[in-house]
Amino acid sequence: MPTRPSLSDGSTTVTFLKCSGQLQPFAKSSADLTRPGVDGVAFRLEGKRSEASKFDAMRDTTNTAAESLKQSVADFKGQLVTFIDDFGVTVEKVFVKDVKLVMEKAIGGATGGIIVPPVDAQRLLGWEIYLQRTTLPA
């Protein structure tokens, strides 16, 4: 069975049905030094940085576990986590810049989800999760 996408801070791990997006690579950034009233343009090269990337995550759950799951995902905000993407690639020390719950729908049951019978999934939750690399890849 393929590895599901997940976020883990060492004590809590949340697994998702999908977590699609792309972590931005490190690249040199520059600062604009142009001053009003002075002709010309000037830039200063800065160190390598990575921009925050938006990921769309989705997870099925039961009614009784929904509030706990929403809180667990919200608690990742501001943390360094280990992230496993949709392709099974693991990236450590990823900063969770923001977490937004954007979808909560009632469902009658699901096949192929994380919740398996005899307990049926009753809700489908969706988040926008903003992740940023903090270390250069090896």
Q: 4 forms bridges with which residues in the sheet?
A: none
| Separation in Å, CA 124 to CA 82, 87, 105, 116, 121 | 23, 22, 5, 14, 8
Q: What is the pLDDT of residues 92-127, one digit of tens each?
A: 999 999 999 999 998 876 566 777 665 677 889 999
Q: Which domain holds residue 78?
A: 6-25+51-133
Q: What is the pLDDT of residues 3-31, one digit of tens each?
A: 899 999 999 999 999 999 999 888 888 88
Quote the pLDDT of residue 91.
92
Q: Give domain status of residue 34, yes or no.
A: no
Q: Give domain status of residue 85, yes or no.
A: yes
Tell me how many domains the chain contains. Answer: 1
* Statement: the pTM of the whole predicted model exceeds 0.75: yes
Q: Give domain status of residue 1, yes or no.
A: no
